[in-house]
Amino acid sequence: MRAGLILFVYLEKFMPVVVVVGMQWGDEGKGKIIDLLAENVDVVARYQGGHNAGHTICFNEKQFVLHLIPSGIFHENKLCVIGNGVVLDPQALVDEMRQLEETGIVLEGRLVISDRANIIMPYHGTSDKGRETRGGFQKIGTTGRGIGPSYADKIARAGIRTCDLRDEAYLKDRLLANYQEKQKTLKNLYNIELPEFSSLFDELLSYRDTILKYIADTHVLLRHQIAQNKNILCEGAQGTMLDVDHGTYPFVTSSNSTSGGACTGLGISPKKIDKVLGVIKAYTTRVGEGPFPTELSDEHGQHLGKVGREFGATTGRARRCGWFDAVVARYGVHLNGIDALILTKIDVLDGFKTIQVCTGYKYKGKIFSDMPADSKIIQNCEPVYTEYEGWSENTVGIQELDRMPDNARRYIDSLTELLETPFMMISTGPDREQTIQLDSLF
Ligand code: IMP
pLDDT digits (tens, 9 = 90+) for 357-369: 999 999 999 998 8
Contact 82, 235 (CB under 8 A): no
Return mean pLDDT, the chain. 93
The closest alpha carbon to 432, from 38, 24, 28, 123, belongs to: 38
Over the stretch 64-116, which tens digit does the pLDDT of each residue have? Answer: 889 999 988 999 889 999 999 999 999 999 999 999 999 899 999 999 999 99
The CB of 31 under 6 Å from ligand 1? The reply is no
pLDDT confidence of 135, banded at 50, 70, 90?
low
Residue 280 has pLDDT above 80, yes or no: yes
Distance in Å, CA 27 to ligand 1 centroid: 10
Active site members: 27, 55
For the chain, list the domains and their CATH numbers: 15-115+217-437 (3.40.440.10), 118-212 (1.10.300.10)
- pLDDT at residue 442 in the model: 61
Pocket test for ligand 1, best of 253, 254, 284, 375 (most atoms within 8 A of CB): 253
Is 68 near ligand 1, meaning CB less than 6 Å away?
no
> In angstroms, what is the span from residue 392 Cα to ligand 1's centroid?
34
Task: Report the separation in Å between the CA atom of 116 and the middle of ligand 1, taken as the mean of its atom positions.
Answer: 23
Which atom belonging to ligand 1 lies closest to the Cα atom of 143?
A: 3
Query: Is the confidence at residue 12, as pLDDT, over 50?
Result: no
Give the list of residues 6+ apart from residue 371 with CB closer than 8 angstroms, or none.
Answer: 327, 328, 331, 378
* Ligand 1 centroid, distance to 49 Cα (angstroms): 9
pLDDT single digits (tens) 199-246: 999 999 999 999 999 999 999 999 999 999 999 999 999 999 999 999
CB atoms within 10 A of CB 287: 23
Residues 155-183: pLDDT tens digits? 999 999 999 999 999 999 999 999 999 99
Backbone angles phi, psi at 202, to 5 degrees: -60, -40
Q: Is the CB of 288 under 6 A from ligand 1?
A: yes
* Confidence band, pLDDT 50/70/90 cuts, at residue 252: very high
Tell me the residue type at 105.
Answer: I
Neighbours of 348 (CB within 10 A): 24
Cβ–ligand 1 contact at 140 (below 6 Å): yes
Contact 288, 142 (CB under 8 A): yes
Residue 52 vs residues 255, 286, 396: alpha-carbon distances, Å: 11, 14, 29
